[in-house]
Amino acid sequence: MKLYLKIWRQKNAESKGSMVEYTLDGIENDMSFLEMLDVLNEGLINKGEEPVEFDHDCREGICGTCSLMINGRPHGPDSRVSACQLHMRSFKDGDSIVIEPWRAKAFPIVKDLIVDRSAFDRIQQAGGYISVNTSGRPVDANAIPIEKELADASFAAATCIGCGACVAACKNASAMLFTSAKVSQFALLPQGQVEASERVLNMVRQMDLEGFGNCTNTGACEVECPKGISLENIARMNREYLSASVKG
């Protein structure tokens, strides 16, 4: 198929960027979206031009590295997939495709389609853990039975891949879905109870410091999340935050 691409090009964080148009032919249905970009780049290199830089690594939807705004939607038109799992059969001959980086103040652009998501790391560093040392002698893993339903809910929250689609989808560039997924994972488990109050307060404080916007419950994050992380997590985090604040 033949495609008309409009891609955001930007040399580095300091310079100004712009949309650049490319026409690409010979794209097949079975190609992944990123393989389509590989074909574009191979052509650019052969012409002596600089290829379009984009973040990607595992190309199987789990590392969370890829981060493309495709026709205005994070990770493109298909649901429950990241851009690396999107295939060209979702498009047709003659389509125009607009490709942009995540747009959020807290995610500054590094180059072209690559953004800096280290704000997510800093939110996790503020409290996204259980403070237990590696001793080789904690209690036996089966000493604390955990209700299957709770364990499954905790797992569901923990499947977040940290890609940032939730922030990109949100008109406020809020990171509530991301932060609440981690808070929920631990809040649902007995092991996470001890530090629960401190955790939620610290993580929310860091989230605000990073310049993410507030949540206005539009639910766009849940719709665009490639892993289907539920809005219930945000509600849970709000409850956790409230009770921690009252206690505090």
Q: Which of residues 165-224 bind other proteins (CB under 8 A)?
A: 185-186, 189, 191-192
If one asks whether residue 236 binds other proteins (CB under 8 A), the answer comes out as: no
Contact 16, 10 (CB under 8 A): yes
Q: How far is the CB of 217 from other proteins (least distance, A)?
A: 27
Distances, alpha carbon 244 to alpha carbons 89, 157, 178, 239, in Å: 48, 20, 19, 8
CA distance 235 to 2: 45
Using a 10 angstrom Cβ sphere, with 0-12 exposed, 13-18 middle and 19 or more buried, the burial of residue 40 is buried
CB of 191 to other proteins, least distance (A): 5
Question: Smaller CB distance to other proteins: residue 45 or 242?
Answer: 45
Q: Is 12 in the site for other proteins (CB under 8 A)?
A: yes
Phi-psi region of 127 (alpha: psi -120 to 50; beta: other; left: phi over 0): left
The H or E element that residue 69 is part of is strand 69-70
- Return the residues of window 115-154 that contact other proteins according to CB under 8 A: 116-118, 120-121, 124-134, 136-142, 144-148, 151-152, 154
Between 48 and 94, whose beta carbon lies closer to other proteins?
A: 48
Place of tokens 């629960």: 196
Nearer to other proteins, 92 or 217 (CB): 92
Q: How far is the CB of 229 from other proteins (least distance, A)?
A: 13
Question: Applying CB under 8 A, which part among 17-25, 42-50, 172-180, 217-225 lies near other proteins?
Answer: 42-50
Kindly report the number of other CB atoms within 10 A of residue 66's CB atom: 26
Which of 78, 95, 208, 222 is in the footprint of other proteins by CB under 8 A? 78
Which of residues 74, 76, 101, 162 is near other proteins by CB under 8 A? 162
By the rule CB under 8 A, 50 interacts with other proteins: yes
Structure tokens at 107: 């995610």
Residues 84-113 that bind other proteins (CB under 8 A): 85, 87, 89, 110-111
- Kindly provide the b/e burial profile for residues 180-192, where b requires at least 16 CB atoms within 10 angstroms of the residue's own CB: bbbbbbbbbbeeb
Looking at beta carbons only, is 108 or 211 nearer to other proteins? 108
- Choose which of 155, 209, 217, 243 interacts with other proteins (CB under 8 A): 155
Identify the DSSP state of 171.
Answer: T
Nearest CA to 2 among 112, 85, 74, 97? 97
35 binds other proteins (CB under 8 A): yes
Q: Does 24 bind other proteins (CB under 8 A)?
A: no
